[in-house]
Amino acid sequence: MSERKLVILGCSSQQPTRFRNHGAYLFLWNEEGLLFDPGEGTQRQFIFANVAPPVVTRIFVSHFHGDHCLGLGSMLMRLNLDKVTHPIHCYYPESGKVYFDRLRYGTIYHEQIHVIEHPVSKAGVVHNDGKFCIEATFLKHGVDNIAWRVTEPDSHKFNREQLKLHGVEGPLVRLLEKNGTIQIGTKEVSLEDVSTVRKGDAIAVVIDTAECQEAIEIARGAKILLCESTYLKEHEDLARRHHHLTTVQAATIAKEAGVQQLILTHFSARYQDLEPFAEEARAIFPHTEVADDLKVFPFSK
């Protein structure tokens, strides 16, 4: 799991199509698996994607409309069946606790997995365990609906010449990285002496919302923005009526937020051809990709 990539398990919106499953998105990142909005059929999509479900360490539910959560119960039961020993962190709007419980315990099974719940009631940092910092903000969708920002910690990039100059080599490098300083003979060497700080990357996930400033702020400077674009511009009236984004609106959010890459998803079943989504978005934000079921988007350091 050393690869850093986004696996699109599904990219449809309210209803699946012959070619697009309900939405579900898996970030494989820093030895963890971050699963967002597991819709119906997510467990089966793991098979088609050739990804083992036990990679999942965290599950995020933006809101409790069915296409964003109906796969939650089966995913937890699958992880239980696979006897995963690591904890499963689950993040969701606190107001949807009753729905989370119904999905988690919707059938008979002998629960063995360790689920750690993080119900979110207000915007801001909701969890920071040193591996990732999880931030949330509430969007405009008519129900409590959360956009997420996940940031990895800063790291140090070592300078080989400086390591050699200070006599830091072999296992001493890892020891220095762990402790921050190390004694070499009579001299104390610090991380700052032999490395530079690399800012941790951030990803943002904005699924189901009308245009709002919150979507821009949560995505500010992110490496990847995974964003809904349920409708093309010609159906802006439908987007407004159902509290969704058009392609043009999603691209504008990406541009104003200054993200590195925009990935569009959550397409209405009325569209068979997704190329117009790419064309409309790239006219505003050139660094746009369009999701498709089982498509993989690598992202490097």
Q: Which residues are catalytic?
A: 67
Amino acid at site 286: P
Residue 196 CA neighbour count, 13 Å, CB half: 5
Q: Phi and psi (nearest 5°) for 184?
A: -115, 105
Residues in the chain: 301
Pair of tokens at residue 90: 């689950």
Neighbours of 112 (CB within 10 A): 11
Across 3-82, where does the E strand assignment appear? 5-10, 24-29, 32-36, 56-60
161 Cβ partners below 8 Å, 6+ apart?
none
According to DSSP, residue 265 is labeled: E
According to DSSP, residue 244 is labeled: -
DSSP string, 116-152: EEEEE-SSEEEEE-SS-EEEEEE-SSSS--EEEEEEP
Neighbours of 85 (CB within 10 A): 9
∠ CA 226-70-110, nearest 5°, is 120
Answer positive or negative: Cα dihedral of 162, 164, 165, 167: positive
